[in-house]
Chain A
Amino acid sequence: MTLSGELLKGIYKENPVLRLALGLCPTLAVSNSVINGIGMGTAFTFVLLGSNIIVSLIKKGVPDKIRIPVYIVIIASFVTIADLFMAGFAPKLHKALGIFVPLIVVNCIILGRAEAFASKNSLGRSILDAIGMGIGFTLTLVFIGFFREFLGDGKVLGTPVMGSSFEPVLLFILPPGAFLSLGFLMGFLNWIDSKKVRK
């Protein structure tokens, strides 16, 4: 695969959430506003980039039998670093994301990329893979977050845009709205794909 393909595959063709259906838990939980999506996506990309770099660097030194505990220690360390920095520099965002920052440890996209990609590929490709997957995850969260915030709260990035007469569709801010938005988005992408195949 070309280097640019390595970067771009995470955004559309192999989008971790919409295509591989991984990491659905944080997607459903923190996609109720755009800013939450940006914060979660940034923290996630930082952790994925860190873990992909380290895993790719030490891939030859790690015996097969203990690779999973080694990967998890690496991932958990980066998550803790991200958590501490967020608490120190962006306390509001840290409060809004709450438990979902520590839970990046068990986000299966990150372990999945370490196991399926970084442990088998060169450092450069692993970095591109992490950036691409991170952008793909962030874009998905921001996209769903935009719709849920707009329909469910009448706001864009926390600023009311619909005026006081707008009656928000509360359902979209609540958990069912997450399932609905994600389902429609996945369905829409599949529909586009099926049209392409027919041609």
Chain B
Amino acid sequence: MRNIIKLSSILTLVTAIAALALAGVNTITKPLIEEQMRLAVHNALLEVLPEASGGVCVDVGEKKGELFEAYSSPDTTGLAGFAFKAYGKGYSSTIETMVGLDLNGNIKGIKILFQQETPGLGSKIEEIKYGKSKPWFQEQFKNKNAERVAVDKDDGEIKSITGATISSRAVTNSIRNGFKKIKPRLEKIIKGEQK
């Protein structure tokens, strides 16, 4: 009996010290991690909506980081476009893409935020070809209408990646479906702006 008390009190002591140490580390790294996540979203926004580089992006989504209004000047005048996050089930992961739109629903640029597709096949959605500076697959989306964007196998204009139709289709369809979902809201925002 006495042995049990001794053993459990030692174990309690060890875990308490561990918890204390972890709490300490967490207070140091928490702001750093949040800053990194904010930076990642910020950089993605700049890349998909170059028009907003002199202005601001305002988070207007129901969930944080899902939908943004972009303004061409810092005092939230001159609505320049929107950006939204699209989620698509790929071959081995849920692919997250940031999509930039102008006011007519045309894609200004996309940026894959997260993917864990098969290296060498599906991961080519982020491939940058030798001597180029931008990923060729994502570049194709520029100036395409978000409502009608589709891969070539679905009679669309996006050339899918050889051997990775599932990943190509996941990105493309997630953008089209994501846009359809937010379209009524965007129209409302644009109308409000014109009044």
A65-B7, A77-B21, A88-B36 known; A160-B130 Cβ under 8 A: yes
Interface size class of A (residues with CB under 8 A): 20 to 34
A98-B116, A164-B129, A164-B130 known; A66-B7 Cβ under 8 A: yes
Spot the interface stretch: A13-21, A105-113, A114-122, A167-175.
A167-175
CA distance A63 to B11 in the complex (A): 10
Spot the interface stretch: A68-76, A132-140, A184-192.
A68-76
Q: Which residues of B contact A63 (CB under 8 A)?
A: 6-7, 10
Contact with B along A42-81 (1 / 0, CB 8 A): 0000000000000000000111011001100110110011
Q: Which residues of A contact B40 (CB under 8 A)?
A: 91
Interface size class of B (residues with CB under 8 A): 20 to 34
Q: Which residues of A contact B18 (CB under 8 A)?
A: 73-74, 76-77
Partner of B36, one of A73, A81, A91: A91
Contact with B along A149-178 (1 / 0, CB 8 A): 000110000001001100010100110000
Q: Which residues of B contact A61 (CB under 8 A)?
A: 10
Asked if B60 is at the interface (CB within 8 A of a chain A CB), the reply is no
Q: Which residues of A contact B114 (CB under 8 A)?
A: 95
Q: Which residues of A contact B118 (CB under 8 A)?
A: 174
- B33/A168 in contact, CB under 8 A: no
Q: Which residues of A contact B116 (CB under 8 A)?
A: 98
Q: Which residues of A contact B182 (CB under 8 A)?
A: none
10 additional A-B residue pairs with CB within 8 Å, beyond A170-B121, A173-B119? A63-B7, A65-B7, A66-B10, A77-B18, A77-B21, A88-B32, A91-B36, A164-B130, A173-B120, A174-B118
Identify the A interface with B (CB < 8 A): 32, 61-63, 65-66, 69-70, 73-74, 76-77, 80-81, 84-85, 87-89, 91, 95, 98, 152-153, 160, 163-164, 168, 170, 173-174
